[in-house]
Amino acid sequence: MKYSYIKPRKKSAITADIKLTLTFFSISILMLFLTYAFLLYKSYSFHKDVISINTKKTMLSSSIEEMKSRILFIEKEDVIASRVKTQNAVLKDSITNLFDLVPERITLSTAQILKNSLVLKGITPNKDVYNFMLQAPLRSIFNRTYSSFYPAGNGWLYFVSTNYTDEEFSMKQEEDDNEN
């Protein structure tokens, strides 16, 4: 100071009003930045979720495809199982019928049920019992029946009966079954 005994007070361009205004604007700008940052984060998060969901979607699509193929396979299995069940039922009935066909005097030792044939092995007191009591019903069932005998040692005879069903005949029979 050249003339004055005292020094002037510090002067600042930032008055209380300006301080208030600056504070207000600072808070506003800060809030805007925070909102912007929040939106940026949300956008990033959303984008990440979209990628994740797309990946999941792809995986689920492939999974659905796999499931579909599995369902298809299971359906096929079901069809097959149903068919097998039917066939088994038929077979069971056939076996029951077969055993019903065998008279008490004849004893079976082996019965081989094949696709279009039946092979029976056993022992019979004699040929007549076999011919009348077993071969006759077999001939009514199968298209072709072949029998062979050989002695068992105690007067009885071992027999081997081979019975065939022709393909066309069996198919026709199957069709008839399906229609029923």
Partner 1 sequence: MKLLESLYIKVFVNIVLSGNETIVYIENFTKGSVTESFENTFSTVEVNEEMVEYINSYIKESPYFYISLLDISSTQGAIPTCLKSTMNLYHDISDSEYKCQNKQWTHYTSKNDLYEIERRYEAFGLDFVFSPFSVLASFFSDKVDNSLALYILLEDAHMSLAVFDNSQLKYADFIDISNVVESEELVEVEALEEELDEEEGIDLDDLDAIDDLDDIESLDDFGDIEDLDSLDDIDEFSSSEDVEEEFHHDEDVQGEASTSSSDGLSEDYKRFTLVQKSINNFYTDSKYSGDFIENVYVADSVGISHDFKRYFEEEMFMSVYVRKIALVIEIAQLAHSEVL
Q: Which of residues 11-70 bind partner 1 (CB under 8 A)?
A: 11-15
**Minimum distance, C-beta of residue 10 to partner 1, in the bound complex (Å):** 10
Nearest C-alpha neighbor of 143 from the set 172, 123, 122: 172
130: number of Cβ within 10 Å:
23
Residue 102, both tokens: 């065998």
**Comparison of 3 and 150: residue with beta carbon closer to partner 1:** 3
**Minimum distance, C-beta of residue 45 to partner 1, in the bound complex (Å):** 43
Chain centroid offset of residue 49 CA:
33
Report the run of H or E that residue 168 belongs to, with start and end: helix 167-179
* Segment lying near partner 1 (by CB under 8 A), choices 1-9, 87-95, 129-137, 146-154: 1-9
**Minimum distance, C-beta of residue 17 to partner 1, in the bound complex (Å):** 9
Strand order across the 107-113 sheet: 107-113, 117-124, 157-164, 144-151
**Comparison of 2 and 115: residue with beta carbon closer to partner 1:** 2
**Comparison of 18 and 39: residue with beta carbon closer to partner 1:** 18
138: number of Cβ within 10 Å:
19
Q: Would you count residue 154 as binding partner 1 (CB under 8 A)?
A: no
**Minimum distance, C-beta of residue 29 to partner 1, in the bound complex (Å):** 20
Question: Which stretches of the chain bind partner 1, using CB under 8 A?
Answer: 1-9, 11-15
